[in-house]
Structure 1
Amino acid sequence: MPHATSHDGARIWYEAIGSGPPLVLLAGQANDHRWWDSVRDDFAAAHRTVVLDHLGTGDSDSPAEAEYSTRRFAADVIAVLDALGLARAHVYGTSMGGKVAQRVALDHPHRVGALVLGCTSAGGAEAVRASAEVSRSLVGAGPEARRALAELMYTPEWTRAHPGPHRTLGSPMRLPARRGHLRASNAHDAAAELGRIGAPTLVLHGTDDLLTPPDNARLLARDIPGAELVLLDGARHAYFEEQRELAAKVVLDFLSRHPMPAASGTGVERDGR
């Protein structure tokens, strides 16, 4: 299986499928690349889609002592692009993956074509947090917490029609890594830096997202120069899956209007293996 090597020697699993301009898909907190399983083919028809397992998830390393931060996860993304021989890629991150995508665009601007930020937040003092009731419902790792998370991800009507398994409810992880992901997401604060993002940016969010309230999307769109904002009516946190057809169309249309610069290159490997 393919792995990139990060700055501290940690191995980061990745996979690339499809053809066309490269598009990196970044999963949410405590989730591996399977977060994208149900929708990835929507993008692979037009893009060379790249997925990876964040440090501590899936087939990436999970060292006992490791730095967990959105900045570190962003550096891991760059290690994957380097392993694939990609000078530049579009980046689409959701939830914590959207926070990582912000850091990729801020710390490595020359590596990003267009940027898509879904169901995410810039962090900082202005960020709108989940309510205390929502936070309490997620305490622990038992069936009740899992049911509460599923209700935050999807509407009841959708889960009745799609009983699962749902790939967005967390990956098997060692406890130190799980705690590291939580710290990384909670500590993220790019609010004061958003004005430096130069990549064309689309902000996507469900109007009924209680896990990351939609006012966070409005703040991102306000502070990122030229950002476009699309709110998906009635969608919860996993809008990209429940409103798959509409969400994919919005993203693909946006990317088609912001083609990759010709000098970015298309990579030296065909499938990442």
Structure 2
Amino acid sequence: MIQYTQTTVAADHVRLAVQLRGHGPTLLLLPGQANDHHWWDRTRNDFAASFTTVTFDYRGAGKSEESDRYSTRLFAEDALTVMDSLAIEHFHVYGASMGGRTAQWLAIIAPDRVRRLVLGCTTPGGEHAVERGDDVRLLLASHERDAALEDMMYTPEWRAAHPGPYQTLGDPTMSAKARHGHLAASNQHDAWDRLPEIVAPTLILHGTDDRFAPVVNAQLLADRIPGARVHTFDGARHGYFDECRDEASPMVVDFLSE
């Protein structure tokens, strides 16, 4: 499907790469940490028949410029700048992993603009979140990182039937500085006290076997966001949106279309 691209300039003059596809009401898709818009390559067309999908590369990733500042709140402010540049006032948001953390801030700081919110495989951050175990951190810091990350994203059975390369394992073009900035942004996220301010109808999705962001965080978020619903995918890992797309994508379309 034809994709339109443009460059938008953030308030601090950082240039952000923006991509649009599809037609209909607007759906902003937010990828995970240290990833660009290609995170959504496998699933994006699932939404393009019903929505105009908008993505942008976070500062420091993809075709966007690097920055001296990184935070999930700043990424949310960048998202608003992108939507302003496109003259889009109201939109749905679907954020996965760190994108879900960014989406939380977006719904908090722009309640009059976010129509519906989908949070995938994410956490509220801060001391109330249940973070990944030390064994996972050690694996991600070892020479076995790439293999470990693949295993945390997808089950062996699914990988056997869907060989890579996978677009969800990180943007290989990122500098070490930008990658560290994204890691710090995700680690420092804490929206716990502000989550009850979210007024957008919210759907929370998570794989039950997610070691990267344990599934207990889905209910933690639901307990803080008024009226939020939770759906878990049995046996799925962090990349449930790919592995369970036959169920997950229609569920998101139905929710956003209510």
| TM-score range relative to shorter protein | over 0.9
- After TM superposition, list the pairs within 5 Å mapping 1:198-217 onto structure 2: 198-217=199-218
In the alignment, residue 36 of structure 2 is paired with which amino acid? Answer: D
Three-state SS of the structure 2 residue aligned to 1:125 is: helix
Alignment partner, residue 158 of structure 1: 158
In the alignment, residue 18 of structure 1 is paired with which amino acid? Answer: G
- In the alignment, structure 1 segments of 5+ residues that lack a partner are 258-273
Alignment partner, residue 26 of structure 1: 30
Q: Distance in 2 between matches of 1:4 and 1:104?
A: 18
Alignment partner, residue 131 of structure 2: 129
Q: Could you tell me which of 66, 73, 76 is aligned with 1:62?
A: 66
Q: Distance in 1 between matches of 2:108 and 2:226?
A: 13
In the alignment, residue 47 of structure 1 is paired with which amino acid? Answer: F
Alignment partner, residue 94 of structure 1: 96
In the alignment, residue 45 of structure 2 is paired with which amino acid? Answer: D
Q: Could you tell me which of 139, 142, 147 is aligned with 2:141?
A: 139
Q: Could you tell me which of 111, 114, 125 is aligned with 1:112?
A: 114
- In the alignment, structure 2 segments of 5+ residues that lack a partner are none
Q: Deviations over 1:87-145 (max 9, x none)?
A: 011000000000000000111112211000000001121100111111100005x5x20
Alignment partner, residue 190 of structure 2: 189
Three-state SS of the structure 1 residue aligned to 2:165 is: coil
C-alpha displacement at 1:2, in angstroms? 0.7
Q: Deviations over 1:178-207 (max 9, x none)?
A: 000000000000011111000010000000
In the alignment, residue 204 of structure 1 is paired with which amino acid? Answer: L
- After TM superposition, list the pairs within 5 Å mapping 1:34-73 onto structure 2: 34-63=38-67, 66-73=68-75
Q: What is the RMSD of the two structures over their aligned residues, measured on CA atoms?
A: 0.8
Q: Deviations over 1:35-76 (max 9, x none)?
A: 00010000001000001101100000114xx21000100011
In the alignment, residue 102 of structure 2 is paired with which amino acid? Answer: V
Asked if 1:16 corresponds to 2:17, the answer is no
Three-state SS of the structure 2 residue aligned to 1:168 is: coil
Runs of 4+ in 1 over 6 A off after TM superposition: none
TM-score by length of 1: 0.91
Q: Distance in 1 between matches of 2:136 and 2:73?
A: 27
Q: Distance in 2 between matches of 1:156 and 1:180?
A: 31
Give aligned pairs, total: 253
Q: Distance in 2 between matches of 1:46 and 1:149?
A: 32
Alignment partner, residue 234 of structure 1: 235
Three-state SS of the structure 1 residue aligned to 2:128 is: coil
Alignment partner, residue 82 of structure 1: 84
More relative contact order, 1 or 2 (CA 8 Å, 6+ apart): 1
Q: Distance in 1 between matches of 2:90 and 2:15?
A: 21
Percent identity reads 51
